[in-house]
Each structure stands twice: as structure tokens, then as C-alpha cells.
Amino acid sequence: MLSTKSPTKEELDAATGKTVSDILVPDLKVLFCGINPGLYTAVKGHHFARPGNRFWPTLHAAGFTPELYQPHQERDLVQLGYGITNIVSRATANAAELSKAELIEGGITLVEKVILYQPRVLALLGLSAYRIAFGKATADIGLQEQTIGQTRLWVLPNPSGLNAHFPPKKLATVYSELRDFVDQLEE
């Protein structure tokens, strides 16, 4: 269970460079891919754990989960056909600390994971990070022409509470478009 106690500054500082385990099994419907874990997430040991991150509420609002999951329920996503990974595995205070080279290297590692686990869709949560990691400077939100083997790529807005371009309702709408696409693939 996720502790409700906020991490101390010392705990956050100590989390720099730590990793959070992937939620990854073969043949998922969707592999959600964040940019990298934040320090709060690394301390808690669960993806998208920071209060204010809108990943879990957005998944529910978009119809991916039957109820509002909490970060400590992340492994329950596998039963629904979903998983979580990151482009870069090391935790930082914010994604701006990642170098272009690190994002590109992370993109290469991500492609290897996708080839090995073969999700139907890789959903990248962050347009700017996708553009850098995959060398697609003009990419936009939504379905991409690029595939990795049979895996389709879909770019979604970063669910961080700092992403003011996408308030919760708009975020849910964009994520719902992916869910509709996945539902069509399943038919």
C-alpha cells in the first residue's frame, strides 16, 4: 500500500538516479510509457505516485480502468492488458534534467523492450520526449505512422499536473481516443 506520508527532502535527494520496476508482460493491449520517474515516484516505488499527477484519474476517466486506481495498484493493470515503462529509467527531479543523448539512448532501449514484449500499442506520454527519443521533430499527439514491428505508436500528452495545455477533461478526451482505437483493434 502507498504510504500517505510525504517524503522528506533527504528521501527525495536519495532517490536521484533510482529506478522503478516496469509493469511489463508479453502481448499487452497498451504499454504506457512515461518520460522518466520523478523523485517522489522513486521514493514511493510506484509509477505516477506524485499527488497531482493525473495519470491514474485520466486512465479512469478515459475508460481504461473500471475504477480510480491508486499507484500501489499498478500491477492490477496487467489483468486489464496494460503495462507501464519509461523512456529513461533513472529518477530525476524533473524531465528537463535528461539530456538529448539520454532520451535517444532510452528510445533505443524502449524499442528493444517493445520488440521483446510486443504490445499492440506503445503509448508515449509526452510529445517533446517522443520527438527527441525517436527523431520525429514534427510529430503530433495521436497515432503515429511509425511502428515497431507490429506495435502501433500513439503519442499522448504528459499527464503531469504541470502540463497546463491539457486540463483534466481535455486530457481524458485525448486518452479516450486511444482507448477507442484499442477497442477497435480488439474487435
What is the tally of structural domains in the chain?
A: 1
Q: Which pLDDT band, with edges at 50, 70 and 90, does 16 fall under?
A: very high
Q: Which pLDDT band, with edges at 50, 70 and 90, does 4 fall under?
A: low
Backbone angles phi, psi at 174, to 5 degrees: -65, -40
Query: Is position 86 annotated as part of the catalytic site?
Result: no
Give the mean model confidence (pLDDT) for residues 132-155.
Answer: 97
pLDDT at 161: 73
**CA atoms lying within 13 Å on the CB side of residue 87:** 28
Give the mean model confidence (pLDDT) for residues 140-166.
Answer: 92
**Residue 119 vs residue 52, higher pLDDT:** 119
Backbone angles phi, psi at 83, to 5 degrees: -140, 175
Give the mean model confidence (pLDDT) for residues 16-25.
Answer: 96
Q: CATH number, domain at 82?
A: 3.40.470.10
CB 31 within 8 A of CB 121: yes
**Residue 2: inside a domain:** no
pLDDT by residue (tens digit) across 54-109?
A: 999 999 999 999 999 999 999 999 999 999 999 999 999 988 899 999 999 999 99
Active-site entry in 36, 53, 86, 158: 36
Element (H, E) at 10: helix 9-14
Query: Is position 46 annotated as part of the catalytic site?
Result: no
Active-site entry in 46, 47, 86, 158: 47
**Residue 169: inside a domain:** yes
Residue range of the domain that includes 87 = 9-185
